[in-house]
């Protein structure tokens, strides 16, 4: 029996597939929501984003790394993959691939800079709040206002008469 894809709906997560650097990093079919800037390390910027990174865990927070002069080349470290950056073996696999994605080539200094950026801001990722959409107001008044905004009419009937 073959293991299912990382992004499958079965709930199965193939952790070996997650060790492939760059999984879930296709920006074209995977737009993210930028939440805030968390810092920088050398010429690398680090931001907190929310999105579905095809890891099998749905929408979640992620660190977004990119070079200041080349923001289109990004690398995401999703919350569900955070554990991998705490193990030496996976760091040795990931760092050169991340550096290659961000810089186009790999040097020892770039690998260390990437590792420093990821490791320095993992705690910010761990402490990230839920996605902003989740925190939106969900009171009855907010619901009624959203109905008005969309041109919908919401009402309740009691004994054949409208009460709302």
C-alpha–C-alpha distance, residues 18 and 121, integer Å: 20
Write out pLDDT tens, residues 77-120.
888 888 777 766 667 778 888 888 888 888 999 988 988 898 89
Q: Name residue 161's beta-bridge partners.
A: 158
Q: How many domains does the chain have?
A: 1
pLDDT at position 46: 94
What range does the domain containing 95 cover?
15-129
User: At residue 8, does pLDDT exceed 80?
Assistant: no
Average model confidence (pLDDT) across the chain: 77
Question: What is the Cα–Cα distance from 30 to 20, expressed in whole angstroms?
Answer: 18
139 in a structural domain = no
**What does pTM read for this prediction?**
0.66
Percentage of the chain beyond pLDDT 90 is 10
Q: Which residue has the higher pLDDT, 13 or 125?
A: 125
157: in domain: no
**142 within domain boundaries:** no
In a domain, 71, yes or no: yes
Residue 89 lies in a domain: yes
């Amino acid at each position: 029996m073959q293991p299912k894809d990382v992004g499958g709906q079965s709930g199965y997560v193939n952790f070996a597939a997650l060790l492939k650097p760059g999984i879930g990093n296709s920006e074209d079919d995977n737009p993210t929501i930028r939440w805030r800037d968390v810092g920088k390390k050398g010429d690398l910027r680090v931001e907190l984003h929310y999105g579905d990174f095809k890891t099998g865990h749905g929408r979640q927070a992620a660190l977004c790394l990119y070079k200041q002069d080349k923001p289109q080349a990004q690398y995401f470290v999703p919350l569900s993959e955070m554990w991998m950056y705490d193990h030496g073996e996976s760091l040795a696999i990931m760092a050169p691939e991340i550096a290659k994605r961000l810089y186009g080539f790999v040097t020892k200094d770039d690998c260390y800079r990437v590792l420093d950026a990821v490791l320095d801001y993992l705690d910010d990722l761990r402490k990230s709040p839920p996605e902003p959409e989740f925190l939106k107001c969900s009171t009855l008044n907010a619901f009624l206002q959203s109905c008005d905004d969309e041109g919908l009419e919401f009402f309740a009937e009691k004994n054949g008469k409208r009460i709302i």
